[in-house]
Amino acid sequence: MRLDLSGERVLAVVAHPDDAELLCAGTLARARADGASIGICVLCRGDKGQPTTPIPNLADVRRQELQAAAQLLGAEAMTGEFSDGELADGQEERRKLIAIYREFRPTLVLAHSPADYHPDHRAAGLLAEAASWFAASGGYLPEHKSLQTQPALWWMDSIEMLGFEPGFFVDIGAHAAIKHQMLHCHKSQLARWADRDFSPLEELMQRQYKARGAQAGVAAAEAFQIHRAWKRTRAW
């Protein structure tokens, strides 16, 4: 079955600066190769995950790392600038994300699954879902031109695949390398090796795309679920 994302505008909405690499960068790279426009919106600053040797201006460093990774992909990077660990589905957060949707005008949004382990990820998923409705609602924030139609929404896999039942798989065999290249841009995250709450990210990422690939009969894959809600589904 052929998935063709040419002409689409694909926006990944994630909580932290390295989440897109772990969960959807192969699919973004594949969409880019098809001719889609790509955006990565990171809602939190990444200001609380200090490496073993603390960095005083960590949020600035992580913003630069995000920009470098997005550049490798040919993606536009956008930020919500909320604090790590405090993200919630609130009105201020919704307004900011709706403005981002109305600027980028996505036709497809990739969002953290409600099954994900991290409270910021789950909040980012709720916000991405709410904005996918209200961005096309003309009466909401009339100062920004609303979208003509709601974007489709796919839930991304959870970290370590826990509690996530794949709806379908995207073969990323030709695009696994860019996940590694992009992850290597996040040097301040990779420097957290001594943090007891931290897992070796590259190992985790590789284990996951290989396991999802094995489930789908290919070398490497990313898993998603379609958000089955009115106007967020599409026919292929």
| Binding interface with Zn ion (CB under 5 A) | 15-16, 19
CA–CA gap between residue 78 and residue 112 (Å, rounded) = 16
Q: How far is the CB of 235 from Zn ion (least distance, A)?
A: 32
Residue sitting closest to Zn ion (CB): 16
In the structure encoding, which two tokens stand for residue 135, read together? 């961005």
Q: How far is the CB of 59 from Zn ion (least distance, A)?
A: 15
Q: Are 215 and 161 in contact (CB under 8 A)?
A: no
Q: Which residue number, 19 or 157, has a Cβ lying nearer to Zn ion?
A: 19
Q: Which residue number, 19 or 47, has a Cβ lying nearer to Zn ion?
A: 19
CA–CA gap between residue 130 and residue 132 (Å, rounded) = 5
Where would I find the beta strands (DSSP E) of the chain? 9-14, 37-44, 76-82, 108-111, 152-156, 168-171, 221-226
Q: Are 97 and 43 in contact (CB under 8 A)?
A: yes
Q: How far is the CB of 159 from Zn ion (least distance, A)?
A: 8
Q: Which residue number, 15 or 28, has a Cβ lying nearer to Zn ion?
A: 15
Closest to 10 (Cα-Cα) out of 2, 138, 1, 29: 29
Q: How far is the CB of 112 from Zn ion (least distance, A)?
A: 8
- C-alpha gyration radius of the chain: 17
Q: At what angle do helices 176-184 and 25-34 cross, to 10 degrees?
A: 120
Q: How far is the CB of 48 from Zn ion (least distance, A)?
A: 11
In the structure encoding, which two tokens stand for residue 184, read together? 């290597």
Any bridge partners for residue 109, and if so which? 11, 153
Q: How far is the CB of 125 from Zn ion (least distance, A)?
A: 11
Q: Which residue number, 50 or 146, has a Cβ lying nearer to Zn ion?
A: 50
The residue written with tokens 């603390």 in the block is 54
Q: Which residue number, 15 or 185, has a Cβ lying nearer to Zn ion?
A: 15
Q: How far is the CB of 161 from Zn ion (least distance, A)?
A: 15
Q: Which residue number, 5 or 44, has a Cβ lying nearer to Zn ion?
A: 44
CA–CA gap between residue 232 and residue 155 (Å, rounded) = 11
Q: Which residue number, 15 or 178, has a Cβ lying nearer to Zn ion?
A: 15
